[in-house]
Copies of this chain bind each other. A is one copy, B any other.
Amino acid sequence: MAKQFSSYKNPSLAVDLVVFGYHQQELSVLLLNRKDEPFKNGWTLPGGFLQMEETLLEVCTRILKTKLGIDKLYLEQLYTFDEPGRDPRGRVISVAYYALINPHRLAVVAGSMANDVQWFPVEKVPRLGFDHKRIFGQALQRLKSKILYHPVGFELLDDTFTMTELHELYETILGIAIDRRNFRRKILDSEYIVATGTKREGLKNRHPDLYRFNKHLKQNNFQLNIPS
């Protein structure tokens, strides 16, 4: 590990991941408890160094797979952080990605996750090592703005979901109240989601309609305005 920082003239390149999960009206982020210095026993974003001949996305999937036991999910490059001093070990430039995952799907592999990996509600994120607080904040900001015009939030829900679940997801992520009926009209008009025609099983009388993301949507015509 320390080898990475010995005598190279080029800064090291790392990848940091902000993994968001949503469950029960709570947006959480996946943090890692470090076993090594620096920031030993402190919380940080999961991350890793880039190996030669490896793409940044490959680093992401490698980290997700080996450190978190996660297979595949929505990934998007966020920003590249390069403040000198952001890593006490030396000059490390980090390309940050953010990811969205439905913790339901994660449940299967949850057992394989070391107990040094933990979900934290976004309003209860502890002090983070490196400049990870800043990276996290920027990722959250990006998610908030992206959800307004892109169906990114669906990655956080099951394949099928009720209107109420989608509505609550938006309210939770944005941290605001959104009129239920106006939200419904807007999201249905946009055709971002389609009714499945079925009702959810298991309930006594299976009431609420189920929807799924419309994969065949030609183009983005969704624009949720933030009530001021």
Using a CB–CB cutoff of 8 Å, the interface residues on chain A facing chain B are 4, 8-13, 50, 52-53, 55-56, 77, 79-80, 82-84, 91, 93, 95, 221, 228
24 A–B contacts from the bound complex (CB under 8 Å): A4-B10, A8-B8, A8-B9, A8-B10, A9-B52, A10-B10, A10-B11, A10-B12, A10-B13, A10-B50, A11-B13, A11-B50, A11-B52, A13-B93, A52-B91, A53-B91, A55-B82, A55-B83, A55-B84, A56-B80, A56-B82, A56-B93, A77-B80, A221-B228
The secondary-structure label for the interface of chain A is loop
Kindly report which residue of chain B lies nearest to residue A79, judged by CB atoms. Answer: B77
CA distance A77 to B80 in the complex (A): 8
Enumerate chain B residues within 8 angstroms of A77, measured Cβ to Cβ.
Answer: 79-80
CA distance A221 to B228 in the complex (A): 10
CA distance A12 to B52 in the complex (A): 10
Enumerate chain B residues within 8 angstroms of A50, measured Cβ to Cβ.
Answer: 10-11, 93
CA distance A228 to B219 in the complex (A): 12
Q: In the complex, what's the smallest C-beta–C-beta distance from A203 to chain B, in angstroms?
A: 41
CA distance A55 to B93 in the complex (A): 9
Q: In the complex, what's the smallest C-beta–C-beta distance from A190 to chain B, in angstroms?
A: 13
CA distance A41 to B45 in the complex (A): 44
Kindly report which residue of chain B lies nearest to residue A3, judged by CB atoms. Answer: B9
The 8 A-B pairs of least Cβ separation, nearest first, read A56-B82, A10-B10, A80-B80, A80-B95, A8-B8, A8-B10, A55-B82, A10-B12
Q: Given A8-B8, A79-B77 in contact, is the A84-B13 Cβ separation under 8 Å?
A: no
- Of B13, B52, B83, the contact of A13 (CB 8 Å cutoff): B13
Enumerate chain B residues within 8 angstroms of A4, measured Cβ to Cβ.
Answer: 10
CA distance A9 to B52 in the complex (A): 6
Enumerate chain B residues within 8 angstroms of A53, measured Cβ to Cβ.
Answer: 84, 91
